Amino acid sequence: MQPLTQLSEEEQMFRDVVRRFARQEIAPLVRNMDEEAKLDAGLLRKIFAQGFMGIDVPEEYGGQGGSFFQSVLMIEELAAVDPAVSVCVDVQNTLVNNAVRLWGSDEQKEKYLGRLASDMVGSYALSEAGAGSDAFALTTSARKVDGGWVLDGQKLWITNAAEAGLFLVFATVDASLGYKGITCFLVDRESEGLSVGKKEDKLGIRASSTCEVVLNRVWVGDDAVLGEVGKGYKVAIETLNEGRIGIGSQMLALAQGALDHAVGYAKQRKQFGKAIGDFQGVQFTLAECAVEIEAARLLVYNAARLRDAGQEFVQQAAMAKYYASIIAENVASRAIEVFGGVGFTKEYPVEKLYRDAKIGRIYEGTSNMQRVVIAKHLMR
């Protein structure tokens, strides 16, 4: 049987292209982007030019026509160098593009998919102050008027908001209907009444923008509804299930990057007359990290392969995100310990990876929410 982690020749070639790009174009900018808490605009243009923002957008719309698994590979390679860059690309591919591709009308696909693949960043505006894990407790409203809708509300913790040209805004058309009133709207950034507010000053993934988005009597036409009125909850659930695999890949790669740095340092750092990597205590630490990373990779790849095969993958996606986010934090922590005192400084990259890891257990479904999903499937 072919191992889950074995790649086809085409997948290997694609992975190598992304890996070279990440190491040559992203790596030199990582520290500065982290300190400035801003994604480099020139780098973003290069990411678009490489086609990374439209991996499984069909070729007829100007995308790469690739697979979901290729998106996961790309996220993995980018995150091994900078998780902050990877999450920008992750949200674009696994959430925004997927939602438009799967739920959009022919006219919506024609209008947006080409732009999303070539020069327009997308943002997924679901979360609110009172709607985090309870995602459908949102209060942003959509009021029907002649020819369209008027949106009012405030979204928080919205990834890519600073750069986005398109927002997928989830609002309720009738609060009395509960989740059945939730509807997804495609809202252009230049829409009158839409403003991007405060950018969060975050612990990690600092180059990735996370902002509030305010909607003050924003009018959109009837053609802005993505899918059907009242079916926004379905759009959200189905895309977030796929997004969890992307976050799992991000966290897997973060752990791999931390281990790679730790192994390199263990080979060259000398104490008591020999490299610290020659000591069994350090070897055991590195070995345990390698086992955890391989287990996470199997979970992530399995979930992505199932999704591409059209098979049930929701439980596997939850497992992948849950486990990968745990081992990312653990491996990054132990990598700092291998480095010793210098690992606690900003001079070495493991300090940043440790900060970046924490969000993995929180966004796109907390670890507790993943446990709930896994348990529900077990009890069916």
Q: Which CATH number fits domain 123-229: 3.40.50.620, 3.40.718.10, 3.30.1440.10, 2.40.110.10?
A: 2.40.110.10
Q: What is the mean predicted confidence (pLDDT) over 215-223?
A: 98
Whether residue 271 has pLDDT greater than 90: yes
d(CA 168, CA 186): 5
In tens, the pLDDT along 231-264 reads 999 999 999 999 999 999 999 999 999 999 999 9
pLDDT(297) > 60:
yes
Domain with CATH 1.10.540.10 in the chain: 9-121
Active-site residue list: 364
> CA 33 to CA 86: how far, in whole Å?
13
Res. 1 pLDDT band, cuts 50 70 90? low
Domain with residues 9-121, CATH architecture: Orthogonal Bundle (1.10)
Reduced to 3 states (helix: H, G, I; strand: E, B; else coil), residue 4 is coil
- Cβ atoms of residues 98 and 42 within 8 Å: no
CATH superfamily of 234-378: Butyryl-CoA Dehydrogenase, subunit A, domain 3 (1.20.140.10)
pLDDT digits (tens, 9 = 90+) for 98-157: 999 999 999 999 999 999 999 999 999 999 999 888 888 999 999 999 999 999 999 999
At 12-70, the pLDDT tens digits run 999 999 999 999 999 999 999 999 999 999 999 999 999 999 999 999 999 999 999 99
Residue 23, pLDDT score: 97
Backbone φ/ψ region at 131: left (φ over 0), alpha (ψ -120 to 50), beta: beta
Range in 23-32, 129-138, 307-316, 330-339 the model is least confident about: 129-138
Q: Check residue 4 and give its pLDDT.
A: 74
Q: How far apart, in whole angstroms, are the C-alpha atoms of residue 193 and residue 212?
A: 14
Q: Where in the chain are all domains bearing CATH 2.40.110.10?
A: 123-229
- The segment(s) of the chain belonging to CATH 1.20.140.10 are 234-378
Give 147-191 pLDDT, tens digit per residue: 999 999 999 999 999 999 999 999 999 999 999 999 999 999 999
Band (2; pLDDT cuts 50, 70, 90): low
DSSP for 258-290 reads HHHHHHHHHHH-EETTEEGGGSHHHHHHHHHHH
